[in-house]
Chain A
């Protein structure tokens, strides 16, 4: 059974700092990996989708990488802003969707 782990569980950084969120998964037989953002009590917003054949995807200040063989993905956020404060979830897809438990990010003004 696929297990997805996100480290750290919580992160607090000053505004303007660059940061990296980590996601690891146990079964490398995945179709893709997706990063989401969730604000408190809200649904999920898709940030980036990386197909299994890809190594990375970029959108604005966000860059996600995927190393399928080692079962790892990172989400890099450049020049963090207070509006980036949220929980970030990664999800991998095999025969179904498997989510990690998320990293709660607080960006301090």
Chain B
């Protein structure tokens, strides 16, 4: 167990809807990153938050947005859902930097868009 939790575990939405996924970081970690993992693929980096500010973003459109709260928990919001957004969404926390420190992953949220 990494101490990183995510909710909900599974979620079913329809195309065009909006969704919010949640992540609680491991204690003492102030950096959280979000990833999208399509079936049979490696995770794709969405963005990283460090001390409540976005600090790096992958090749995802603006309808993917996030927040990090003072307690370092985080949300991923996706607007105008598309069928291709169906994936496992993973969050990971690290001590300072996702690119320099070991990342600890949560179990993921499985999103299905119909």
How many residues belonging to A are interface residues under a CB distance threshold of 8 Å?
Answer: 24
Interface residues on B, range: 20 to 34
Cross-chain pair count, CB within 8 angstroms: 65
Chain A 91-104, CB-CB to B under 8 Å as 1, else 0, gives 10111111111100
Q: Which of B21-49 contact A (CB under 8 A)?
A: 33, 35, 40-45, 48
Q: How far is the CA of A42 from the CA of B108 in the complex (A)?
A: 7
Interface-forming stretch among B11-19, B67-75, B77-85, B99-107? Answer: B99-107
B35 / chain A contacts, CB cutoff of 8 Å: 97, 99
Pair B99/A95 contact, Cβ less than 8 Å? yes
B106 / chain A contacts, CB cutoff of 8 Å: 43
Interface-forming stretch among A12-20, A44-52, A61-69, A75-83? Answer: A44-52
Binding site for A on B (CB under 8 A): 2, 4, 6, 33, 35, 40-45, 48, 56, 58, 88, 90, 92, 98-100, 102-108, 110
